[in-house]
Amino acid sequence: MPAGKSSASSISKVFSRSKNSLTLPANVLILPETENHSQIGIGGFMSQAFIIVLREGFESFLIVAIILSYLNKVGHTRLIPAVYWGIFISLFASAGMGFIILQTANGPFWEGVFGLVGATLVATFVLHMWRTASHLKKDVESRLRETTAGKTNLWAFFGVFLFTVLMITREGMETAFLLIQIHDPQVVTGAFLGMAAAIGMCSLWARFGHLINLKLFFQVTSIFLLLFVLQILIYSFHEFTEAGLLPHSEALHLATEPFSPDGIYGRWVTPLMIGVCAIWLIGAWLHNRLSRKQATSSR
C-alpha cells in the first residue's frame, strides 16, 4: 500500500478515535489496502502455503507411518484402529483451531498476538525437529513401547490413540498458525497443492525411501520456516503499530508498510526465501559430491 495522503488520513482517523484502546472494532482499524496483487505476490503467497503444508503434511504422514510400522513389527495390529481414530480427532481439532483463530483474528491487535504466538510455536517446533530428526524413528518407537508395554488392551489402545492425537495435532496447530498469516485467497490453492505433494512424497518414501534424503529435506524446509517466522514477526510489529500500541505508532506503521505482504519489499520476501533454500540445496549437493569423490580417491 503506498504511503500516500489517503493512508495517512485513514491512520490519523484511527488514532484520533482511540489512541489507547486495545480492542478497537475491526472495521475502524483496517487500513486501505491495494486491491490487486502483483504476479509475484500471488505466486509468493501460493508458494508459502505450498511449502508449509508440504513440510507439515509430510512430517505428519511420516509420524503415522512410523507408528503403523512399529505396531505391525511388534504384532500389535489390534491397536492400529487407535491410530486412525487419533488421526480423525487430530484433523477435527486442527480444523477447529484454525476456525477459532480465523474468527478471532479480525483486527490488528489480535493478528499481531496470533502472529507472535505462531512465531514462537513454529520456531520452537522447528528447532526441536532439527535436533531430533535424525533419531525421530527411535524416539517415536520408544514412546510407543512405553505406552503399550505391560498395559491392558484398553489402556494400550487409549495410549496409542492419545499419542497419535498429540503428535498430529501439534503439526496441525503449527500449520494453522502459519497459514493464518498468509492473507490471500491463493493460500487455499497452495495448501491443497502442498497436501497433494506431501501425499506423493510419502508414497515415494514408502517405496524408495533410500533415495530420499530426509535430513536434507527437513534442513531446507526448516530454513524456509524460520525465515517465514522472521516475516511473521515483522508483520506482527506492523499490526501492533496499526493498533496503536507502540509509541509513535503512526510513523512506525508508515515506515513498516513497504515490508508488509503487499508492500514493495514484502512481496519479494518469498522469492528470497526460496532462493536461500535453493542455494542451501545446491551447496549440500556439491558438498556430498565432493565427499563421495574424496572417499573414492582415498580407497
- For residue range 266-297, what is the model confidence (pLDDT) as tens digits? 777 777 877 888 888 888 888 888 888 877 77
- Report if residue 34 sits inside a domain: no
pLDDT digits (tens, 9 = 90+) for 153-164: 788 888 889 988
Q: Is the pLDDT of residue 218 over 60?
A: yes
- Report if residue 1 sits inside a domain: no
Task: Check which CATH number belongs to the domain holding 44 and give it.
Answer: 1.20.1250
Q: Which of 9-13, 21-25, 244-248 is the most confident on average?
A: 244-248
For residue 183, the model assigns a pLDDT of 67
- Report if residue 9 sits inside a domain: no
**Tally of domains in the chain:** 1
**C-alpha grid cell, residue 7:** 493512508
- Report if residue 22 sits inside a domain: no
Domain of residue 194 covers 40-290
- Report if residue 50 sits inside a domain: yes
